[in-house]
């Protein structure tokens, strides 16, 4: 026995520390100086069980320099010069040092000050002149310098703001600094008030009618209530009017004429429109008003009452604590003031400057620094001790040389923090991250984000809408997968696509098939048709498809549009083996009007050979139960000749001229004639036939039967009896008028058998057709080697024959009578079958037997007498000659015992092809 023992030794792996050692410490990832390595290379330094150490570095060509640096002796070690345009000012006072994307300005040796324009050692080197002012060394001053202020500053060191510098006062008011220069007021010109002298001091607005009035000496010169002031204003006059008014006397009008003012109840002056504005002289006290000219022109105002004191500040000197120096009062009548407003000294506040304010430096807000008070506004600034920052020196300074990495600039923030301004390839709070996105701006159409994998820094792009690819450089192809249906063309475009639909499609994605199965108006039928499939077939169903539709037809119709009658199709297939479009209309007409078939069929069958046509129709055996002559049954094969006529179809002739053997009539009456018992086979007729019958033609043995020849209908379920009487005509010819003995005597003759006028005329007709239509009418016999007219040429034939008319009237057609011919007159009788034959009564299926019986018929053709009439032309003779010959002639007539023959033609016409098809089904 063999024991197999598998021992599985577990394999413990020691955790490995992988360490990377930079080739150059700053910046990281391999490049020395200010470069970013775009392809870091690592070199194995050492490997132990517990740790592996790599050194990594960068090929110079893979170093990408920070903006503002370039290659020097080493990659990216040179800072691009930023001092070329002397950005610091006069070069002989400044030293400019380029930094990455910036520069430092320091004063050259011997210069100091903000603009490096103070020579070291001069008083200005340590001046206290405020920023913006200019220091000038001056022996005259105790400080050794004077400060030249800007126009917005003032004071020894330009330490104060000149609040009036911006000209706040309007309307001629003058601005002055007040309240220890902490504020400003406007000293307004007379008639104005408000913070900025923007408000009019007067209640009176504009003069009455805005114009001057003529001075009326009589009224004004003697007027009682007059008042004079060389600084007259409407306000002054108004105050006078208020003073003089009593309860029963309202002095409504103020008339100002220069320094004079009159108050009155009514207008004191005359209206004088001709006076223009030449009287408008400014009042002495207020240039904004008009007072008119003394003794010449006057201005009239309407008196009004002042609601508030226009001189509130002057009237109460205690307002705004003005006496105590806490604030100042401003006359200010407005909606929001009560005739005055207060501006307070910085150490006082409140609506009346009644509340004291503590000094901003008490208590000292500066945590690790000195409070400096700005007395002008009672505001403080902290002068921080070394190592502290913030508005109140509350934070320890955080920026050290090492705070921001890789060339980043550190700035303290107000809240004790710091902010690193990184060089372009770096990012992060301390610029510790490589900002790969700033190298080459890789994301063409998207947002870039730096990614770090070990020591390799890379980026990922988040693409904007419509873009794709690692760098968002590729427009998204919205055509893949193809949204356009049914193989329509897709054209991509930004953020989308366009479908160009194939014909028959619609919708944004061409997904909709345009439905062509819609009803339409048929002008001919004068009605709406449900769909294109239903023009003929009500039962057809229409199914839409691209750029079309499919019809599924009912039983009776076929073809793509269900407009082809199944019957017609079958007919065409049978004849041509394919559906000939030109035939369809004709056959459709035929379906509408079956009687036309007589016209049509010959055109179709005329194209077939004789034997083909013959095969389409019945055979003698199909029709004859039996046929008998002189009560003797005949042999159908031997005695009945079958032939085919284009129009009539298969015909069966007894005693046909082509037969060698001829039966002669020997006995008059029923026993000497012909009898036939036949079937009509109605069940096989085409549906449009409404009569069923056997056509019987009786004609001379040599004569040809035409489709129009006289015929007799033998109807089914009846016995038809035809009695024949023969008449013979003979003509002399020669001098007695032309007559024809043989067909060759006329120009052309296409009929078999003896010459007849009808045959001759039809031959003329055929010749005419040949000329007109280049084919011959297939309904009639044609010249050998001629072509039959196709059904499509039927219209030509019809038109040509209608235009030409009856051939017997054509001069070109010479058809004399035959020299001899026979005609038969006929009496005809019909007797319906009355009883069923006994055989049927015995039959098991009486109904079928009866039906078959009703399809049958009997024909009897009888020569009641054997003699016949002769009409013969004889030469003219005189009466005597006539008499002498009469007896002989009669004798001849009477003595001749003529036995003649008849031919019986049975023929059937019908839709032979249809019948054949029916057999097949
Ligand atoms: C620095 O030198 C490398 C290698 O010679 C080169 O590929 C790179 O383009 C240079 N960089 C600059 C900013 O000129
Ligand atoms: C200014 O630049 C000059 C020469 O470029 C140099 O000698 C001098 O030390 C610089 N002074 C300062 C203050 O950097
Ligand atoms: C100093 O004062 C004297 C006389 O008071 C005057 O002449 C001189 O121009 C002043 N110098 C300056 C720099 O203002
Ligand atoms: C305002 O100006 C007038 C004359 O212009 C002067 O008499 C008056 O003292 C000034 N008032 C103040 C408060 O400056
Ligand atoms: C002056 O104004 C003060 C404070 O608004 C008020 O108390 C005093 O009554 C006023 N004096 C007069 C005469 O209106
Ligand atoms: C800063 O201020 C705090 C609180 O006033 C004080 O404890 C601390 O000693 C000061 N630090 C320095 C360096 O003055
Ligand atoms: C960096 O990322 C881009 C885009 O994602 C990629 O094509 C490239 O290969 C990456 N480079 C490295 C060194 O991984």
Average pLDDT over residues 573-590: 72
Report the length, in residues, of the chain.
921
Average pLDDT over residues 103-118: 83
Rounded CA separation 54/455 (Å): 11
- Final residue before a domain boundary, out of 818, 850, 867: 818
Rounded CA separation 752/745 (Å): 14
Rounded CA separation 600/594 (Å): 10
Asked whether residue 892 is domain-assigned, the answer is yes
Q: Looking at the structure, do residues 673 and 718 belong to the same domain, yes or no?
A: yes
Which pLDDT score, from 0 to 100, does residue 366 have?
93
Q: Which of 421-425, 577-581, 727-731 has the lowest mean pLDDT?
A: 577-581
Q: Which of 198-207, 236-245, 308-317, 345-354 has the lowest mean pLDDT?
A: 198-207
Of 640 and 577, the one with more pLDDT: 640
Pairing of strands 51-57, 17-22: parallel
Which pLDDT score, from 0 to 100, does residue 462 have?
94
Question: By alpha-carbon position, which residue is closest to atom 6 of ligand 1?
Answer: 61
Which pLDDT score, from 0 to 100, does residue 705 have?
80
Rounded CA separation 699/819 (Å): 17
Of 590 and 668, the one with more pLDDT: 668
Which pLDDT score, from 0 to 100, does residue 498 have?
92
- Do 54 and 18 meet the contact criterion of CB atoms below 8 Å apart? yes
**Confidence bin at 901 (pLDDT 50/70/90):** very low
Tell me, letter by letter, the H, E, C secondary structure of 291-315: CCECCCEEEEEECCCCCCCCCHHHH
Asked whether residue 393 is domain-assigned, the answer is no
Rounded CA separation 266/254 (Å): 10
Q: Looking at the structure, do residues 713 and 620 belong to the same domain, yes or no?
A: yes
Confidence check: pLDDT of 887 > 70: no
Of the chain, the end-to-end C-alpha distance in Å amounts to: 87
Q: Any bridge partners for residue 612, and if so which?
A: none
Of 641 and 572, the one with more pLDDT: 641
Which of 458, 462, 474 for a ligand 7 pocket mutation test, highest count of atoms within 8 Å of Cβ?
458
CA distances, 414 to each of 199, 287, 403 (Å): 44, 55, 17
Question: By alpha-carbon position, which residue is closest to atom 14 of ligand 4?
Answer: 187
Q: Which of 213-217, 268-272, 684-688 has the lowest mean pLDDT?
A: 684-688
Rounded CA separation 569/558 (Å): 8
Question: By alpha-carbon position, which residue is closest to atom 11 of ligand 3?
Answer: 140
Average pLDDT over residues 817-839: 81
Average pLDDT over residues 335-350: 84
Which pLDDT score, from 0 to 100, does residue 753 have?
83
* The most confident of 56-65, 299-308, 518-527, by mean pLDDT: 518-527
- Distance from the CA of 369 to the center of ligand 6, in angstroms? 9
> Cβ–Cβ contacts within 10 Å for residue 855, how many?
16
Which pLDDT score, from 0 to 100, does residue 531 have?
92
Rounded CA separation 290/863 (Å): 155
- Distance from the CA of 790 to the center of ligand 4, in angstroms? 131
Rounded CA separation 474/458 (Å): 20
Which of 122, 140, 148 for a ligand 3 pocket mutation test, highest count of atoms within 8 Å of Cβ?
140
Confidence check: pLDDT of 245 > 90: no
- Distance from the CA of 30 to the center of ligand 1, in angstroms? 15
- Residue 662 has, within 13 A of its CA and on its CB side, a CA count of 14
Which pLDDT score, from 0 to 100, does residue 344 have?
92
Confidence check: pLDDT of 96 > 80: yes
Instruction: Give 875-917 as a DSSP string.
Output: ----HHHHHHHHHHHHHHHHH-------EEEEE--S-HHHHHH
pLDDT tens digits along 192-241: 888 888 877 665 656 777 778 888 888 887 788 889 998 888 888 888 88
> At 78, which helix (H) or strand (E)?
strand 78-79
Average pLDDT, the chain: 80
Q: What is the DSSP letter of 106?
A: E
Q: Looking at the structure, do residues 860 and 714 belong to the same domain, yes or no?
A: yes
Contacts of 208 by beta carbon, 8 Å cutoff, 6+ apart:
253, 300, 301, 302
- Do 57 and 41 meet the contact criterion of CB atoms below 8 Å apart? yes
Which of 174, 175, 187 for a ligand 4 pocket mutation test, highest count of atoms within 8 Å of Cβ?
187
- Alpha-carbon dihedral sign for residues 423, 424, 425, 431: positive
- Do 909 and 713 meet the contact criterion of CB atoms below 8 Å apart? no
- Distance from the CA of 142 to the center of ligand 3, in angstroms? 13
- Rounded to a whole number of angstroms, the CA Rg of the chain reads 69
Q: Which of 6-10, 112-116, 219-223, 358-362 has the lowest mean pLDDT?
A: 6-10
Tell me, letter by letter, the H, E, C secondary structure of 362-428: CCCCCCCEEEEEECCCCEEEEEECCCEECCCCCEECCCCCCCCCCCCEEEECCCCCEEEECCCCEEC
Instruction: Give 780-848 as a DSSP string.
Output: S---TTPPBPPGGGHHHHHHHHHHH--GGG-TT---PPBSEEEEEEEEEEEEE--S--HHHHHSS-HHH
Q: Looking at the structure, do residues 617 and 579 belong to the same domain, yes or no?
A: no
3-state secondary structure of 113: coil
Q: Looking at the structure, do residues 154 and 168 belong to the same domain, yes or no?
A: no
- Do 147 and 157 meet the contact criterion of CB atoms below 8 Å apart? yes
Of 63 and 288, the one with more pLDDT: 63
Question: By alpha-carbon position, which residue is closest to atom 9 of ligand 5?
Answer: 316
Q: Looking at the structure, do residues 850 and 719 belong to the same domain, yes or no?
A: yes
Task: Report the number of distinct structural domains present in the chain.
Answer: 7
CATH code of the domain covering residue 703:
2.60.470.10
Confidence check: pLDDT of 861 > 70: yes
Asked whether residue 380 is domain-assigned, the answer is no
pLDDT tens digits along 488-505: 999 998 888 999 999 999
Q: Looking at the structure, do residues 340 and 269 belong to the same domain, yes or no?
A: no
Confidence check: pLDDT of 69 > 70: yes
Place of tokens 């039906």: 851
- Final residue before a domain boundary, out of 818, 845, 874: 818
CATH code of the domain covering residue 351:
2.10.25.10
Which of 365, 367, 368, 369 for a ligand 6 pocket mutation test, highest count of atoms within 8 Å of Cβ?
368
**Confidence bin at 687 (pLDDT 50/70/90):** low
CA distances, 203 to each of 188, 240, 859 (Å): 17, 14, 143
Q: Looking at the structure, do residues 808 and 850 belong to the same domain, yes or no?
A: no
Rounded CA separation 724/862 (Å): 6
Tell me which ligand sits closest to the C-alpha of residue 176: 4
Which pLDDT score, from 0 to 100, does residue 689 have?
56
Which ranges constitute the DSSP H helices of 257-356?
Answer: 312-315
Which pLDDT score, from 0 to 100, does residue 28 have?
58
Counting residues of the chain whose pLDDT is more than 90, the rounded percentage is 14
Question: By alpha-carbon position, which residue is closest to atom 11 of ligand 1?
Answer: 71
Which pLDDT score, from 0 to 100, does residue 277 have?
64
- Do 204 and 252 meet the contact criterion of CB atoms below 8 Å apart? no
pLDDT tens digits along 644-671: 877 777 888 888 888 888 888 888 888 8
Rounded CA separation 455/63 (Å): 15
Q: Looking at the structure, do residues 243 and 343 belong to the same domain, yes or no?
A: no
Confidence check: pLDDT of 909 > 60: no
Q: What angle do CA 740, 746, 749 make, to 5 degrees?
A: 110
Rounded CA separation 182/274 (Å): 56
Asked whether residue 456 is domain-assigned, the answer is no
pLDDT tens digits along 717-741: 888 898 888 888 888 877 778 888 8
Which pLDDT score, from 0 to 100, does residue 882 have?
39
Rounded CA separation 530/522 (Å): 10
Confidence check: pLDDT of 540 > 80: yes
Question: By alpha-carbon position, which residue is closest to atom 4 of ligand 3?
Answer: 140
Asked whether residue 26 is domain-assigned, the answer is yes
**Confidence bin at 850 (pLDDT 50/70/90):** confident
Asked whether residue 506 is domain-assigned, the answer is no
Of residues 490, 498, 497, the one with CA closest to residue 475: 497
- Do 103 and 81 meet the contact criterion of CB atoms below 8 Å apart? no
- Distance from the CA of 120 to the center of ligand 2, in angstroms? 15
Asked whether residue 72 is domain-assigned, the answer is yes
- Distance from the CA of 38 to the center of ligand 7, in angstroms? 10
- Do 788 and 782 meet the contact criterion of CB atoms below 8 Å apart? yes
Q: Looking at the structure, do residues 906 and 785 belong to the same domain, yes or no?
A: no
Q: Phi first, then psi: what are they for 898, rounded to 5°?
A: -90, 125
Average pLDDT over residues 908-914: 35
Q: Which of 186-200, 423-437, 481-495, 680-694 has the lowest mean pLDDT?
A: 680-694
Ligand 7 environment, Cβ below 6 A? 456, 458-460, 470
- Final residue before a domain boundary, out of 137, 161, 185: 161
Confidence check: pLDDT of 911 > 50: no
Q: Is the peptide bond before 27 cis (omega within 30 degrees of 0)?
A: yes
3-state secondary structure of 437: helix
Rounded CA separation 797/803 (Å): 10
Q: Which domain holds residue 28?
A: 1-80
Of 453 and 179, the one with more pLDDT: 179
CA distances, 358 to each of 179, 345, 363, 713 (Å): 16, 12, 9, 146
CA distances, 495 to each of 294, 473, 568 (Å): 86, 14, 58
Q: Any bridge partners for residue 852, and if so which?
A: none
787 burial level (CB within 10 Å; 0-12, 13-18, 19+)? middle
149 alpha-carbon distance from chain centroid: 73
Rounded CA separation 40/48 (Å): 23
| Tokens linked to 577 | 């083996």
CB distance 474 to ligand 4 below 6 Å: no
Q: Looking at the structure, do residues 709 and 616 belong to the same domain, yes or no?
A: yes
Asked whether residue 493 is domain-assigned, the answer is no
Confidence check: pLDDT of 84 > 70: yes
Average pLDDT over residues 414-432: 86
**Confidence bin at 564 (pLDDT 50/70/90):** confident
Which pLDDT score, from 0 to 100, does residue 206 have?
66
Q: Looking at the structure, do residues 707 and 852 belong to the same domain, yes or no?
A: yes
CATH code of the domain covering residue 106:
2.10.25
Q: Which of 335-339, 540-544, 714-718, 841-845 has the lowest mean pLDDT?
A: 335-339
- Distance from the CA of 429 to the center of ligand 6, in angstroms? 28
Place of tokens 């001829």: 662
Which pLDDT score, from 0 to 100, does residue 519 have?
93
């Amino acid at each position: 026995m063999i024991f197999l023992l598998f021992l599985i030794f577990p394999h413990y792996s020691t955790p490995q520390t992988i360490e990377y050692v930079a080739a150059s410490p700053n910046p990281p990832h391999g490049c020395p100086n200010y470069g970013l390595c775009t392809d870091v290379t690592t070199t194995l330094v050492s490997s132990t069980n517990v740790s592996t150490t790599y050194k990594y570095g960068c090929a110079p060509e893979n170093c990408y320099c920070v903006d503002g640096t370039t290659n020097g002796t080493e990659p990216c070690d040179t800072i691009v010069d930023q001092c070329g345009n002397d950005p610091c000012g006069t070069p002989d006072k400044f030293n400019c040092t380029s930094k990455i994307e910036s520069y430092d300005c320091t004063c050259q040796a011997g210069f100091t000050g903000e603009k490096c324009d103070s020579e070291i050692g001069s008083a200005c080197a340590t001046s206290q002149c405020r920023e913006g002012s200019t220091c000038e060394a001056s022996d005259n001053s105790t400080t050794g310098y004077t400060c030249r202020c800007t126009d917005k500053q003032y004071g020894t060191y330009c330490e104060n703001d000149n609040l009036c510098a911006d000209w706040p006062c309007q309307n001629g008011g003058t601005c002055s600094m007040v309240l220890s220069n902490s504020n400003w007021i406007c000293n307004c010109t007379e008639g104005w008030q408000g913070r900025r002298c923007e408000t009019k001091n007067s209640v009176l607005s504009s003069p009455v009618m805005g114009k001057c009035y003529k001075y009326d000496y009589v009224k004004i010169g003697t007027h009682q209530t007059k008042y004079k002031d060389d600084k007259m204003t409407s306000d002054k006059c108004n105050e006078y009017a208020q003073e003089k008014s009593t309860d029963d006397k309202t002095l409504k009008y103020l008339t100002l004429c220069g320094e004079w003012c009159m108050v009155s109840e009514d207008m004191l002056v005359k209206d004088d429109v001709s006076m223009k504005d030449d009287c408008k002289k400014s009042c002495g006290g207020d240039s904004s008003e008009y007072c008119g000219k003394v003794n010449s022109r006057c201005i009239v105002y309407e008196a009004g009452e002042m609601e508030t004191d226009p001189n509130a500040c002057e009237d109460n000197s205690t307002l705004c604590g003005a006496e105590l120096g806490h604030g100042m009062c401003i006359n200010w009548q407005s909606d929001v003031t009560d005739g005055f407003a207060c501006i307070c000294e910085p150490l006082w506040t409140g609506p009346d400057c009644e509340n004291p304010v503590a000094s901003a430096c008490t208590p000292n807000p500066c945590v690790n620094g000195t409070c400096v008070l700005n007395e002008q506004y009672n505001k403080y600034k902290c002068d921080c001790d070394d190592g502290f920052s913030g508005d109140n020196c509350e934070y320890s300074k955080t920026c050290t040389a090492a705070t921001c990495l890789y060339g980043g600039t550190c700035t303290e923030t107000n809240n004790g923090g710091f902010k690193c301004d990184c060089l372009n390839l770096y990012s992060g709070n301390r610029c510790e991250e490589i900002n790969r996105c700033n190298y080459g701006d890789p994301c063409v159409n998207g947002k870039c984000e730096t990614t770090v994998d070990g020591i390799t820094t890379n980026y990922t792009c988040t693409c904007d809408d419509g873009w794709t690819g690692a760098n968002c450089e590729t427009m998204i192809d919205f055509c893949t997968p193809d949204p356009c249906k049914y193989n329509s063309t897709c054209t991509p475009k930004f953020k989308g696509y366009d479908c160009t639909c194939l014909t028959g499609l619609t919708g944004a994605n061409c997904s909709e098939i345009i439905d062509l199965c819609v009803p339409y108006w048929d002008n001919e039928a004068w009605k709406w048709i449900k769909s294109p499939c239903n023009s003929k077939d009500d039962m057809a169903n229409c199914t839409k498809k691209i750029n079309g539709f499919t019809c599924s037809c009912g039983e009776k119709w076929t073809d793509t549009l269900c407009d082809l009658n199944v019957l017609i199709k079958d007919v065409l297939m049978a004849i041509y083996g394919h559906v000939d479009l030109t035939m369809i209309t004709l056959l459709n007409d035929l379906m509408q009007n079956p009687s036309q078939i007589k016209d049509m069929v010959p055109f179709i069958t005329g194209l077939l050979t004789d034997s083909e046509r013959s095969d389409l129709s019945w055979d003698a055996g199909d029709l004859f139960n039996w046929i008998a002559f002189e009560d003797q049954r005949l042999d159908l094969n031997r005695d009945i000749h079958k032939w085919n006529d284009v129009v009539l179809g298969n015909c069966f002739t007894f005693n046909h001229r082509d037969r060698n053997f001829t039966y002669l009539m020997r006995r008059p009456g029923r026993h000497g004639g012909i009898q036939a018992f036949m079937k009509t086979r109605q069940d096989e007729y085409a549906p449009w036939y409404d009569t069923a019958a056997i056509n019987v033609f009786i004609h001379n043995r040599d004569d040809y039967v035409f489709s129009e020849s006289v015929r007799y209908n033998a109807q089914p379920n009846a016995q038809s009896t035809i009695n024949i009487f023969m008449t013979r005509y003979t003509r002399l010819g020669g001098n007695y008028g032309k007559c024809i003995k043989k067909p060759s005597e006329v120009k052309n003759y296409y009929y078999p058998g003896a010459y007849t006028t009808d045959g001759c005329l039809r031959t003329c007709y055929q010749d005419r057709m040949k000329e007109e239509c280049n084919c011959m009418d297939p309904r009639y016999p044609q010249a050998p080697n001629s072509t039959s007219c196709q059904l499509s040429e039927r219209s030509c034939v019809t038109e040509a024959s209608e235009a030409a008319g009856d051939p017997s009237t054509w001069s070109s057609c010479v058809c004399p009578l035959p020299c001899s011919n026979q005609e038969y007159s006929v009496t005809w009788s019909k007797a319906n079958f009355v009883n069923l034959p006994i055989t049927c009564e015995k039959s098991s299926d009486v109904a079928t037997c009866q039906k078959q019986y009703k399809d049958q018929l009997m024909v009897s053709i009888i020569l009641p007498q054997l003699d016949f009439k002769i009409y013969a032309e004889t030469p003219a003779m005189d009466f005597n000659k006539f008499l002498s010959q009469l007896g002989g002639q009669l004798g001849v007539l009477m003595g001749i015992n003529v036995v003649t023959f008849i031919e019986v033609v049975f023929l059937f016409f019908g839709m032979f092809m249809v019948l054949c098809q029916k057999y097949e089904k």
